[in-house]
Chains A and B, each alone.
Chain A
């Protein structure tokens, strides 16, 4: 990823908007000379129009981030059928069919 500037004063901002229980989500970034100033900048820029219950900032440089080459590892969850919830049901149906069927136990 190209870096065009010294990013040591860039902070990523995370907020919980819309009440406790909602996900705490990335909302953007700010620049600040220190974390407290960054937090105040984030408060002014991202929380004034809605109720915010959690506001976090963290230095961008502290993040370990995925790169394009990680995509093949990250996105293959659904290519492994045995990791998907419908797989055991299909497995059971296949077994029932193989044993002649008829006495299949309904999942509750």
Chain B
């Protein structure tokens, strides 16, 4: 889709001025973009929580297990909330899941992995939650109001997850042994570049041609959000005692701009297109779950 398929009021500096409710008149293009964004996020919530769900049975103490279960429930709830936004615009939740299990959906780069150790979870969740909060606080200023409202509910719960991740990381760094602290450090070094890539390609390549940006569903540019996130999260890790190498991220005091490690965009693209280490596993888990639950769904529908 190119820029000129949009009415002039959607382009340029006024792209955020006109907001839409579900019942307002919208162009088909606009509706399709809003539906796609919500469906994409619904799937991201459902698949994104799977590496965490895998650790529920292995959490080292009861309180952590409770907090982890609460997080998993929240994320699945977010999947439902976003699916409702998508459904009202024409993409059903059945289709969202079917598209995924039949290989037609792409996942964000960060959802192609799992956690090798318990110590990896805290710092990674901290990176993920802070990135999600920065991104959602931007997206909730967008033009499709049902999506914006859904995001505000989700942000509140991401805040809980952020604090859980902070506490978990802090506990390991203050009470753990040298090996455990080293795992936190290595998790940061592995995941920080992945989260940099999560915000998407640099602006020069995409921002003007992105229809979601043009119609104000996407509010800020990838680079703006990336900068905002680095500025927020790097000091948090430094305060926790994690070493942030200058090559990884460093603030240019003069410009106020953060320099960060090079991202291999070709490798990211390959990962997203061909599937990372856990892609097949998440597909098979969701596929098995749909199959297992089918009799219950049918029974509920038959009884209604």
Quick check: is A41 within 8 A (CB to CB) of the other chain? yes
- Residue among A4, A9, A49, A68 making CB contact with B74, cutoff 8 Å: A49
Contact pattern, A 63-76, Cβ under 8 Å of B = 1, otherwise 0:
00101100000000
Do residues B24 and A68 form an inter-chain contact, with CB atoms below 8 A? yes
**With the chains together, A44 CA to B79 CA distance in Å?**
12
Is residue A45 within 8 Å, beta carbon to beta carbon, of the partner chain? yes
Please count how many residues in chain A sit with their CB below 8 Å of the partner chain's CB atoms.
23
CA separation between A37 and B302, bound complex, in Å?
A: 13
CB neighbours (8 Å) of A67 from chain B are 23
Q: Most chain-A Cβ atoms within 10 A of its Cβ — which of B31, B88, B149, B300?
A: B88
Q: Which of B153-161, B162-170, B198-206 contacts A (4 or more CB under 8 A)?
A: B153-161
Q: Which residues of B contact A48 (CB under 8 A)?
A: 70, 73-74, 77
The number of A-B residue pairs with CB atoms under 8 Å apart is: 60
Residues from chain B with Cβ under 8 Å of A29 in the complex: 84, 88
Main DSSP-derived SS at the A contact region: mixed
Q: Which of A1, A2, A44, A49 lies in contact with B156, CB distance below 8 A?
A: A49
How many angstroms from the CA of A68 to the CA of B80 in the assembled complex?
Answer: 28
> Looking at B23, B25, B87, B304, which has the most chain A CB atoms within 10 Å of its CB?
B304
Q: Please determine whether A28 and B84 come into contact, CB atoms closer than 8 angstroms.
A: yes
- Residue contact A33 to B22, C-beta cutoff 8 Å: no
Q: Are A34 and B303 touching (Cβ within 8 A)? A: yes
Chain B residue contacts of A5, Cβ below 8 A: 87, 90, 92
Q: Which residues of A contact B301 (CB under 8 A)?
A: 33
Cα(A89)–Cα(B211), bound, Å: 53
Write the nearest CB–CB distance from A22 to chain B, whole angstroms: 16
Which residue of chain A lies nearest to B146 when distances are taken between CB atoms in the complex?
A: A28
Judge whether B81 and A28 touch: CB under 8 Å: yes
- Asked if A45 and B304 sit within 8 Å, CB to CB, the answer is no
Contact yes or no, A45 B80, CB < 8 A? yes
Contact of A65 among B23, B24, B92, B304 (CB under 8 A): B23
Are A44 and B77 in touch, CB under 8 angstroms? Answer: yes
Nearest B residue (CB) for A60: B88
- Check B89 for interface membership: any CB of A closer than 8 A: yes
Complex contacts, A37 vs chain B, CB 8 Å: 300, 304
Known A-B contacts A4-B87, A5-B92; A49 and B160 likewise in contact (beta carbons under 8 Å): yes
| Nearest neighbor of B297 in chain A, beta-carbon distance | A33
> 6 A-B contacts, Cβ less than 8 Å apart?
A31-B87, A33-B300, A37-B300, A48-B77, A49-B157, A67-B23
What 10 A-B pairs have minimum CB-CB distances, sorted nearest first?
Answer: A33-B304, A4-B90, A1-B23, A33-B300, A34-B304, A45-B77, A33-B301, A29-B84, A45-B80, A37-B300
Q: B interface vs A, CB < 8 Å? A: 22-25, 31, 70, 73-74, 77, 80-81, 84, 87-93, 149-150, 153, 156-157, 160, 300-301, 303-304
Contacts A31-B84, A48-B74 supplied; 12 other A-B pairs, CB < 8 Å: A1-B23, A4-B89, A10-B84, A28-B81, A28-B150, A30-B80, A41-B80, A44-B77, A45-B81, A46-B153, A48-B70, A48-B77
